[in-house]
Amino acid sequence: MSLRKVAAQLGSGPMRLYGYIATKEELLDLMVDAVYGEMIAEGPFEGTWQDTLRTMAHRMRGAAHRHAWLTELLSGRPLRGPNAMTYSEAALAALGSQKGFEDIAVTLQTLKTVTAYVVGALLDEASERHAIQASGMTQEEWQLATYPYLQRVLATGRFPNIARIVEEVEHPSQAEEFERGLRIILDGVAARMKR
């Protein structure tokens, strides 16, 4: 993405865009804020705190799947655009109204923890898409191609836990893996609240 490409799409010159934005980073912030606007349009957060966090996580994942460039821009400093702030305020309010989230610091840390998980999972998914594109092999094809090497390495006995993963762990779809990880995070929040 460049200002030159955006200007070309708009049928304008890049210098004309500088009348509206100062830098490429500002344009990227506006793009991300527009996506937060899409997530707001999906409706209010409703239900239990688990429902709120699950909805937030799935909205962010859905947005990243619709806009491949988004994942890379989600980490870093909090965004201060009007849609991002409205979205954050709605999530904070939905959690803050729940028992166990009276302390705003706990509420904020919970949101940050779930967001960190989501961004990490999205980066993992994006990395897999990039690997498929770069190698021309699906994950399954790559695993089959590298399996003889893996067998030789595991036969040394130096990696018993990795051997257990290969032999015992079911490798679900990305959607199921995302949901499993989210359940672990939510279970951790629930355990903390019981203390």
* H or E element, residue 185: helix 174-194
Q: List the Cα angle 5/9/11 in 5-degree steps.
A: 110
CA dist., res. 10 & res. 33, Å (int): 19
Name the amino acid, one letter, at 102: E
In this prediction, the residues of the chain whose per-residue pLDDT falls under 70 are: 1, 77
16-25: pLDDT as tens digits: 887 888 888 8
40-61: pLDDT as tens digits: 999 999 999 999 999 999 999 9
| Per-residue model confidence (pLDDT) at position 11 | 87
| Per-residue model confidence (pLDDT) at position 78 | 73
The verdict on pTM exceeding 0.75 is yes
| Per-residue model confidence (pLDDT) at position 12 | 86
| Per-residue model confidence (pLDDT) at position 193 | 87
